[in-house]
Amino acid sequence: MSGKFTLFSGKNGEAYFNLRAGNGEIILKSEGYKDKASARNGVESVRKNAPDAARYEKKTSVGGKFHFSLKAANHQIIGSSEMYESERERDAGIASVMANAPDAKLVEE
């Protein structure tokens, strides 16, 4: 089963998307967008940039957890991961985004 993007409106009125792996787990979350059209553009940017390993910024939180951000060519963050317990799990999360994002269908909620 392949991944999918879910597009939804937040309580604050902004639009967001998540990328879910085939097992339903959220592997990437967006920032808030002013409307769904802008969020759809964000999805397209993730599809385009996800296969490029150079677009990922690997990070470690103050608490010692591992996470990453996916950036567009202009260096803006277009998606962020959850916190992982290990670098190996974080790197597996990146691999999952790289594999799932390019062909993931978009579902609006």
Task: Summarize pLDDT for 28-48 with one digit per residue, the tens.
Answer: 999 999 999 999 999 999 999
3-state secondary structure of 49: helix
Chain-centroid distance of CA 83 in Å reads 13
Q: Is 61 exposed, middle or buried (0-12, 13-18, 19+ CB in 10 A)?
A: exposed
95-105 pLDDT, tens digit each: 999 999 999 99
DSSP label at residue 31: P
Domain 4-108 part of CATH 2.40.50.140? no
Give the single-character DSSP code of 6.
Answer: E
- Within 10 angstroms of residue 80's Cβ, the number of other Cβ atoms is 15
Average pLDDT, the chain: 95
